[in-house]
Amino acid sequence: MKVTYKLEAFEGPLDLLLHLIDKNELDIYNIPVKDITDQYLEYVQAMHELELEVTSEFLVMAATLLSIKSKMLLPKPPVIEYDDSLYDLDNELDPRVELVQKLIEYRKYKSIADLLRDKEVERSLVYTREPEDLSPFLPVVQENPVLGLDVTDLLIAFQRTLRKMVSRNTVSKIRRDEISVKDRMKEIVHLLGEKSGRLLFSKLFDYEMTREEIVVTFLALLELMKMKKVVCYQHSLFEDIVIQARQEGLTVELPADEISY
């Protein structure tokens, strides 16, 4: 039959001593060292039998308890008289004082640790979410456009606006340079002279020409054809029109009285 031993886990020798004191309902300020020492050694011996790892702290506390136990077995020193007063060495030489102080401090910190552990468990039951941007729900406050301005600032702005209005009233009239049909006819005749009397119709126009210039060019070409200065023809359908100057078309001057627009 297999026998299982179960020992409580202690964080250190002071924790074990507090457990023994609470278990036996002892006064921490008047600890019976003999009983506590015997029970403490029983626990340490049980750890050895169960092949548990016993740290040096438990062994040091066992030696400390044995030392206190041996000192408690010694006879108490007599009460001596010093400066007309009684000086009791019993309280000054009590070997349990230092151990009691350590136990009280340890109990204080252990109580605080238990409280914090309970707070941790309580806080772990609360689930939170990431903060959201609540700015869209804030009331919209209209800012005052003239906040911080006084009458002087408004007067300066008014005067500056008046100066801009005075300069804005100045109007410049732009006149467009117009070209007559007669001048355009002379330009076409000049281009034919440079191109050996033959010019493609598409060469008379470019992308920068205005609508008026295009119309004037058509009228000038029609006038030249009417006066039999040029001949227009195509080699095939949809090809570019060829403007061919007659032999006398490049030498004869244009009549000034016939074309006046």
Give the tens place of pLDDT for each residue, 205-221: 887 888 888 888 889 88
* Tally of domains in the chain: 2
- The answer to whether residue 161 is domain-embedded is no
Q: Are 79 and 86 in contact (CB under 8 A)?
A: yes
- The answer to whether residue 45 is domain-embedded is yes
Give the tens place of pLDDT for each residue, 181-195: 888 888 888 888 888
Provide the token pair at 215: 């119309």
Element (H, E) at 125: none
More confident residue, 149 or 237: 237
Do 95 and 197 lie in a common domain?
no
- The answer to whether residue 96 is domain-embedded is yes
- The answer to whether residue 68 is domain-embedded is yes
The C-alpha atoms of residue 74 and residue 68 are separated, in whole angstroms, by 10
The C-alpha atoms of residue 215 and residue 182 are separated, in whole angstroms, by 13
**Quick check: pTM over 0.75?**
no
- The answer to whether residue 115 is domain-embedded is yes
Query: pLDDT-derived band of residue 5, with 50, 70 and 90 as boundaries?
Result: very low
For position 240, which CATH number holds? 1.10.10.580
Domain hosting 197: range is 181-245
Query: Does the pLDDT of residue 52 top 80, yes or no?
Result: no
Do 202 and 110 lie in a common domain?
no
The C-alpha atoms of residue 180 and residue 176 are separated, in whole angstroms, by 13
